[in-house]
Amino acid sequence: MVNSMTEAVGVGMLGLGVVGSGVARALRDKAATIGQRVGRPVELRGVLVRDPERQRDVEGVSLTRDPRAVLDDPRVQIVVEVMGGEEPAHAYIRRAISAGKHIVTANKEVMAKHGPEIVSDAARCGLDVAYEASVGGGIPVIGPFKLDLLANDISSLSAIINGTTNYIITRMSQAGLDFGSALREAQDAGYAEADPRNDIEGIDAAYKLSILATLAFHARVHPNDVYREGIGGLEPSDFRYARELGYATPLLAIGKREPEGLELRVHPAFVPRGSMLANVDGVFTAVQVEGDLIGRILFYGRGAGAGPTSSAVVADVIDLAQRIGAGPVRPSLAPTDANIRLRAVSDVRTRYYLRLVSADRPGVIATVAGILGERSISLSSVLQKEDVPLEEGGRYAEIVFMTHHAQEAAVQEALEQIRRLEVVPRIGSLIRVED
């Protein structure tokens, strides 16, 4: 127990990787500022790692491989969880709450899967769980949903919410890098998850969308509720066509409240070049929100990396340290709308970009247009490039169809039929257009 307003607030940390090292450095280098803001010193008392013997680039930190040394330390009032993954992180957070500690976490997987339950269980014990760093790295986005936007009915969220994929897309489309080199750069910069498939396959973005949607729509959104496609299917020619047609191609996380239900999806999308979201490059990320009172707003900044993420973590530590012993805690992630319905992706209506690799023969465009037309999918434009060399060998024509609004189910049905055409050896890509 801290029994005086001058005694230091003790912090224990789980993890000393990219984020944990940034947090340890900030707590050390900004100790005087942090102490002034809290009104008493804040001290890092112990850090859990897998390998305490390994050389670290942060000195003077007490390392342990025994979780009890942090979770059960009576000198620790706030546990910062920056180890990542679902387990054992989730179990350690639970155990820290049982031991009477407040929690700060950057872990979107744990918060997306278990957040509402953890937050309300902690609140029952008079403890708070802060998770600003779990979405948007350094961008303040959780805080505004918990407070500043509360008067609004939110109708939509559109977010470029994964720094790694945005970095990869930017480097591929602007510098012509191949996928592997762009990913390596993102890993070297500390942006990627321990398993980068979480970034590339849109899993990390789906976790973040679940957290934001739970806050924005006051409904329990689980990651399994989110339709998800990653960036693995994007090819350099998609970026070229997007440019030619006036679009950028980010991995977009979309949450929309429609009369038919809540639409939740993560996938690459064409967004018009002139829009705010088309100009979010590199590790920058952005969350665009539409509310009935506030209209459209955009949160924008660095979405990953040690500096921005430690900014959010340390701010949460300062906030909790200021409020220790201040009285009852109100759960911040408490879904109140139990009747929300989800809208199946097959019901979504949007515009589409469809790139086909095809034999350069008369009648191909007419055949494909006919298949689309039979399902009331009307075309807004068609582009054909002749004699395109393919990675897998041979030279083909590439045909790009842009559609007007159409229903996803009809488009998928048409795709099935197109796939069976002998003159279409490969469907290049199908990208939804969000304008």
Instruction: List the interface residues with ligand HSE, window 196-225 (CB under 6 A).
Output: 199, 204
| Radius of gyration, CA atoms only, the chain | 24
Smallest separation (angstroms) from ligand HSE to the CB of 164: 3
The residues pairing with 213 across neighbouring beta strands, listed in sequence order, are none
By a kind-dependent CB cut-off of 5 to 8 A, residue 144 interacts, out of ligand HSE, ligand NAP, none, with none
Cα–Cα distance for residue pair 408/410, rounded to 1 Å: 5
Nearest to 33 by CA among 323, 317, 305, 324: 317
Q: Does 227 bind ligand HSE (CB under 6 A)?
A: no
Phi then psi dihedrals of residue 252, to 5 deg: -110, 140
By a kind-dependent CB cut-off of 5 to 8 A, residue 127 interacts, out of ligand NAP, ligand HSE, none, with none
Site string for ligand HSE, 160-179 (x = CB under 6 A): --xxx---------------
For residue 17 the two structure tokens come to 């990787």
Site string for ligand HSE, 119-158 (x = CB under 6 A): ------------------x---------------------
Which member of 10, 303, 331, 428 binds ligand HSE (CB under 6 A)? 303
Residue whose structure tokens are 């849109």: 202
Residue whose structure tokens are 């030279």: 395
Stated as kind and residue range, the H or E segment containing 200 is helix 197-200
Three-class HEC string of 138-150: CCCCHHHHHCCCC
Q: Does 16 bind ligand NAP (CB under 6 A)?
A: yes
Which member of 1, 91, 150, 194 binds ligand NAP (CB under 6 A)? 194
The secondary structure of residue 362, as a DSSP letter, is T
Annotated active-site residue in 113, 208, 256, 385: 208
**Nearer Cβ to ligand HSE, position 304 or 397?**
304
Which member of 18, 119, 226, 406 binds ligand NAP (CB under 6 A)? 18
Q: How many residues line the site for ligand HSE (CB under 6 A)?
A: 11
Spacing of C-alpha 79 from chain mean position: 23
Three-class HEC string of 23-36: HHHHHHHCHHHHHH
**Nearer Cβ to ligand NAP, position 254 or 304?**
304
Name the residue type at position 344: A
Q: Does 105 bind ligand HSE (CB under 6 A)?
A: no
Site string for ligand NAP, 270-309 (x = CB under 6 A): ----------------------------------xx---x
Residue 385: active-site member: no
Cα–Cα distance for residue pair 274/62, rounded to 1 Å: 50
By a kind-dependent CB cut-off of 5 to 8 A, residue 84 interacts, out of ligand HSE, ligand NAP, none, with ligand NAP
Smallest separation (angstroms) from ligand HSE to the CB of 78: 21
Judge contact between 118 and 97, C-beta under 8 A.
yes
**Nearer Cβ to ligand NAP, position 6 or 55?**
55
Judge contact between 31 and 44, C-beta under 8 A.
no
Residue 423: partners with Cβ closer than 8 Å, 6 or more residues away: 358, 359, 361, 364, 367
Q: Does 15 bind ligand NAP (CB under 6 A)?
A: yes
Q: Does 317 bind ligand NAP (CB under 6 A)?
A: no
- Cα angle 17, 23, 24; round to 5: 85
For residue 248 the two structure tokens come to 């950028």
Site string for ligand NAP, 22-51 (x = CB under 6 A): --------------------------xxxx
Task: Please report the beta strands in 31-83, taking only residues with DSSP state E, as ranges in sequence order.
Answer: 42-48, 63-64, 78-81
Q: Does 20 bind ligand NAP (CB under 6 A)?
A: yes
Which member of 110, 304, 364, 372 binds ligand HSE (CB under 6 A)? 304
Instruction: List the interface residues with ligand NAP, window 104-133 (CB under 6 A).
Output: 106-108, 133
Kindly indicate which of the ranges 35-43, 61-69, 190-198, 291-299 contains the residues binding ligand HSE, using the contact rule CB under 6 A: 190-198
Encode 217-228: b = buried (16+ Cβ within 10 Å), e = exposed.
bbbbbbbebbbb
Residue whose structure tokens are 């944990």: 20
Residue whose structure tokens are 């000393």: 16
Task: Please report the beta strands in 326-425, taking only residues with DSSP state E, as ranges in sequence order.
Answer: 349-358, 379-389, 395-403, 406-407
Instruction: List the interface residues with ligand NAP, window 48-67 (CB under 6 A).
Output: 48-51, 54
Spacing of C-alpha 164 from chain mean position: 10
**Nearer Cβ to ligand HSE, position 192 or 216?**
192
Stated as kind and residue range, the H or E segment containing 430 is strand 426-433
By a kind-dependent CB cut-off of 5 to 8 A, residue 420 interacts, out of ligand HSE, ligand NAP, none, with none
By a kind-dependent CB cut-off of 5 to 8 A, residue 199 interacts, out of ligand NAP, ligand HSE, none, with ligand HSE
Binding site for ligand HSE (CB under 6 A): 137, 162-164, 191-193, 199, 204, 303-304
The residues carrying an active-site annotation are 208
Binding site for ligand NAP (CB under 6 A): 15-20, 48-51, 54, 82-84, 88, 106-108, 133, 137, 190-191, 193-194, 304-305, 309
